[in-house]
A and B are shown apart, each in its own frame.
Chain A
Amino acid sequence: MVPKVDTSFERHDLTDEQLVALLRTMVAHRTLESRGFQLNRQGKIPFASAGEGHEAVQAGAAMAFRRGVDVLVPYYRDLGLDIGIGVTAYEILLSLFGRAADHSAGRQFPHHYASRKLGLYSISSVIAAQLPHAVGAAYAMKLRGEERAVLTTCGDGATSEGEWHESMNFAAIHRLPVVVLCENNEWAISTPLSKQMAQPDIYKRAEGYGMPGVLVDGMDPVACYAAVKTALDRARSGGGPALVEAKCYRFLAHTTDDDDRTYRSRDEVAERRKRDPVPLFERTLIENGVMTADDVEALKRSVLDETNEATDRAEAMPYPKPEDLYTNVYSANFQPWQ
């Protein structure tokens, strides 16, 4: 995609408040992600993963999500989406620290958030395993005649999995209210898009399943909002599924365990950084009079304060107890020999 140079933009009916909220989600996303890496480098947590470069697509998509109505079945690089639909910084940090008060009671790996209240599904780390679940949830909605939809996401690499294909096919056959948002950041750990598929335009696969496919600039939060909103609106009103491909980029290594210098050049990353969506959107809002530079600074400070406060609070919370290992295996107490 050609980088956008001007900052003129189509609002798609978003109010100033909503635009500021988009930026806040993006800044919170980046700050919390950075905090995960910092805590890992301090030896306080064993692992963190990163989504820098996904802020715009996730903030935009989250704004199209109807809280209390829709279901989100994310993947593990969706911190911004999770924040955008209502997960708090404190909840994020409880998860990073593996504390007892975490939604999974410290069981899940970081960035595998879940919240029944928010409609946020529990996922595993296994690539594409969440997609059939999204399709199943959408089937349930359709069966009950509800005006709801499922937003499910994946990276570009996940599209290679058999389960991705099976999910797309089934959703199309039954015209299910599900939107598959593919966050194409061009890298599956070290595997570039060219080794992941011979057809780099993932949205083009939609036709093969008999559903619409849409391409959107994943560095533009408002465009992402509009594309996902259109697809979700159609899905909720019986129009069937859609595949939305947002082209973005993964600026950081895959996780704290990865060193991306082994497989891609610094020049490539620096070049792509020029379209870093966070400063780009800040500039857009300032130049279009939605916020002043001071407003942006204040917002960033406020996010950092919240993150720091959440870090200290979460770190002070207790770990789960050893005996918590044995709960919730089945609905009741259980031994394999009875």
Chain B
Amino acid sequence: MAVSSSATSTVMNNVEAVRATLYEALKSDDRTVILGEDVGARGNVFLITKDFINEFGPQRIIDTPIAEASIVGIAVGMAMEGLRPIAEIQFADFIYPSFNQIVGEAAKTRYRSNGEYTCPLVIRTPYGGGVRGALSHSVSIEALFYHVPGLKIVAPAFPADVKGLLNAAIDDPDPVLFLEHKKTYRLIKGEVPDGHYTIPLGKANLLKEGTQLTVVSYGLYVHWALEAAQKLQEEGLSVEVIDLRSIRPMDKGTILRSVEKTRKLLIVHEDNKFGGIGAEISAMVAEEALFHLDAPIRRLCAPDVPAMGYALPLEEEYMSSPGEMAEAMRELVRF
């Protein structure tokens, strides 16, 4: 990452990191507007845009009607007409009505006009479970969108990455879907460098080095995978942990280098297994590093059910725990 102004840093949680970055973007560029449900006086339901409306006014902090298709669609028009909109979908579960505007419009605008029109747009949305959000406040949506050329997808796990990647997303000349795991919002705190910096999209982060197994994850599960890997370290097993950070583009080099070293790959994600991000990673590694593999690639992902239920046992069964991750790692190391 390139830190431009100072080497000092501030401890923040992920909510504060998103907020600080959005604030900077609003402050530094008056083309930036934020639109979404309850982003104004309420300051977003997670208080990410708290007080923005007081400083930047209702013209730039736009409380929209409950109409997700138009939240994204209007942002597309703003972007085509030279603003830098940051659209918010209140929960990722509500993004479906705007599916066409994201997949059919935003992602194709540059292409269909042969570059004459572009759509520099950020769509932020909190996703993920572990917060008792049940069927409509817990979903992971990344697999529905990562298939789409023209769109970029980011899913950071750490506050410093949130800032660097959100800055990069805002600067990006193309539409970016910025996924924020809501369980990490207040749970995860960390040092965030002061001043403006960006982290390039498509660069994974090697969080922990190891020799016997590569674990690839993103979002909340990165934290749990790291916890599990550290536990295994105490048992004398050496696991390498990679935080993807960007889902599209995805960092092939980091994954391949690691797999060629450890010869074993475990992919951990919260989204459903069938057709998930892990499927693409598995296919890529099978295509490019088959003769380095010393064990079948494994995926620890959500089961093939539509959602996590509200009742605690249903949520726990749906999600993978650090303990389950550790067990999968042990099995694979010993394989």
Contacts and interface: CB of A to CB of B under 8 A. Distances in A.
Asked if A and B form a direct contact in the complex, defined as CB atoms under 8 angstroms apart, the reply is: yes
Contacts of A102: 311
B312 A190 contact: no
A191 B313 contact: no
A197 interface: yes
A126 B93 contact: yes
B11 interface: no
B146 interface: no
Given A126-B93, A334-B304, A109 B136 contact: yes
A195 to B, nearest CB: 5
A336 B304 contact: yes
B316 A322 contact: yes
Contacts of A47: 132
Contact of B66 (A98, A196, A324): A196
Interface string B299-318: 00001111111111110111
B313 A326 contact: no
Nearest to A127: B66
A193 to B, nearest CB: 10
Contacts of B313: 106, 319-322, 324-325
B66 A124 contact: no
Interface of A, helix, strand, loop or mixed by DSSP:
loop
Nearest to B58: A195
A143 interface: no
Residue of B275, B304, B312, B313 contacting most chain A CB atoms (<10 Å)? B313
Interface in B48-96: 50, 63-70, 93-94, 96
Contact of A262 (B42, B274, B305, B317): B42
A230 B230 CA distance: 67
Interface stretch (A11-19, A84-92, A157-165, A211-219): A157-165
A108 B135 contact: yes
B93 A125 contact: yes
Contacts of A326: 303, 305
B45 interface: yes
Nearest to B66: A157
Contacts of B128: none
B142 interface: no
Contact of A325 (B37, B133, B134, B303): B303
A189 B314 contact: no
A24 B317 CA distance: 40
Interface in A86-110: 98-100, 102, 104-110
B70 A162 contact: yes
B293 interface: no
B214 to A, nearest CB: 24
A6 interface: no
Given A108-B134, A188-B66, A329 B316 contact: no
Contacts of A337: 274
A264 B50 CA distance: 14
B38 interface: yes
A257 interface: yes
Contact of A335 (B133, B304, B307, B312): B304
B63 A191 contact: yes
B97 A161 contact: yes
Contacts of A105: 309, 311
Contacts of B97: 126, 161-163
B309 A124 contact: no
A324 B137 CA distance: 20
A57 interface: no
B312 A319 contact: yes
B317 A325 contact: yes
B143 interface: no
B305 A325 contact: yes
Nearest to B138: A109
Nearest to A154: B66
Interface string A33-47: 000000000000011
A31 to B, nearest CB: 22
Given A98-B310, A189-B42, A125 B136 contact: yes
A329 B94 contact: no
Contacts of A190: 38, 40-42, 63
Contacts of A125: 93, 134-137
B173 interface: no
B310 A108 contact: yes
Given A163-B97, A189-B37, A337-B274, A263 B42 contact: yes
A190 B307 CA distance: 28
A233 B97 CA distance: 33
A295 interface: no
B43 interface: yes
A160 B68 CA distance: 9
A124 B305 contact: no
Nearest to B304: A336
B39 to A, nearest CB: 9
Looking at B41, B309, B310, which has the most chain A CB atoms within 10 Å of its CB?
A: B310
A128 interface: yes
Nearest to B47: A262
Contact of B135 (A100, A124, A257): A124
14 contacts: A99-B311, A102-B311, A160-B66, A161-B68, A188-B38, A190-B40, A190-B41, A190-B42, A191-B42, A191-B65, A195-B40, A322-B313, A325-B318, A334-B304
Given A162-B70, A195-B65, 7 more contacts: A47-B132, A105-B309, A107-B135, A125-B135, A188-B38, A191-B64, A320-B311
Interface of A: 46-47, 98-100, 102, 104-110, 124-128, 157-158, 160-163, 188-191, 195-197, 257-258, 262-264, 319-326, 329, 334-337
Q: Which A-B residue pairs are the 6 nearest by beta carbons?
A: A106-B311, A190-B42, A160-B65, A125-B136, A263-B41, A98-B311
